Amino acid sequence: MQRHFDTELSKLKSTLIKMGSIVEQSIEKSIYALLSQNTELASAVINDDTKINSLEIEIDNTIVDLLALQQPVASDLRFILAAVKINSDLERIGDHAVNIAQSVLNLKKHEQISSSMWETLPVANEVKRITHITKRMLTDALNSFIHFDANLGESVLLVDDVVDMLNLQIITELIGLMKNNGALIDQSLELIRVSRNLERVADLATNIAEDVIFIAKAKNIKHHSAE
C-alpha cells in the first residue's frame, strides 16, 4: 500500500540530497580556490553558506514534524534518525568549506603563497592528495546515501585512516618548515588549518557513510561497535 508518508519521506530525502550537493560544491570550490589562489571563488563559498544554513533549518523543521505527526518505526525511524545526523554533518562540512575559503583569502591577503610557490612547497603533493581523497570520500558518502548503498558506504570508512595519516604528515612537515624558516610561519599555520579542516570533512563523510549503513543494514558500526 502506498502511504502518503512515503511521499513525505522521499521529499525529505530529496532536500537532503540537494543540501548534500550544495555542500559538495562548496568543498570542491574551496579546494579549487586553494589550489588556484582564486579569491573570487573563495568569497563565493563564504556567501553560499547562508543557503546551506537555511536548508539545515528547513530540514530540521521537517524532521520535527515527521517525528511528532507520523510516529515512524523500523526503517522509517532509522532513516529519519540518520537524516537528523546527516543534516547536521552536512552543515558542519559547509562550515569547513568556509574555513578553507577563509584561509585562501588570508593566504592571498599577505601574498603568502604565490602560484609558483606551490610547486616548491615541500607539502604541496600531500595537500593535493588530501584534497583529492577527501573530495572523493564526500562524493562517495553522498552517493551511498542517494542509493542507500551500504557497500559504497563501507568503502568510505576504509579511506579515513589514509586522510588521518596525510594530515599528520602535513602538520609534521609544516612544523619542521616553521622551525627552519620563521618567514613561513603565517602561511604554514594557514595550511595546517586547511589540512585540519579537510581531515574533519573526511570524518564527517565517514559519519554519513556510517549513517547510510545504519539505514540500509540496521547495524550501528560507530566506534567499531558492531565488531
**List of residues contacting other proteins (CB under 8 A):** 1-5, 64-65, 68-71
CB 83 within 8 A of CB 16: yes
CB 24 within 8 A of CB 90: no
Shortest distance (Å) from residue 8 CB to other proteins: 11
Please, which residue, 3 or 219, has the CB nearer to other proteins?
3
Q: Specify the amino acid at residue 182.
A: G
Shortest distance (Å) from residue 88 CB to other proteins: 19
Rounded CA separation 190/227 (Å) = 38
Shortest distance (Å) from residue 64 CB to other proteins: 6
Please, which residue, 3 or 147, has the CB nearer to other proteins?
3
Query: DSSP H helical segments within 71-149, as ranges?
Result: 74-109, 115-120, 124-146
Rounded CA separation 40/6 (Å) = 42
Shortest distance (Å) from residue 72 CB to other proteins: 11
Rounded CA separation 43/33 (Å) = 9
Please, which residue, 66 or 198, has the CB nearer to other proteins?
66
The three cell numbers of residue 201 are 570533512
Please, which residue, 68 or 74, has the CB nearer to other proteins?
68
Which of these, 163, 147, 151, lies nearest to 204 by C-alpha position? 163
Shortest distance (Å) from residue 67 CB to other proteins: 9
CB 213 within 8 A of CB 154: yes
Please, which residue, 37 or 70, has the CB nearer to other proteins?
70
Please, which residue, 70 or 155, has the CB nearer to other proteins?
70
CB 52 within 8 A of CB 19: yes
Shortest distance (Å) from residue 65 CB to other proteins: 5
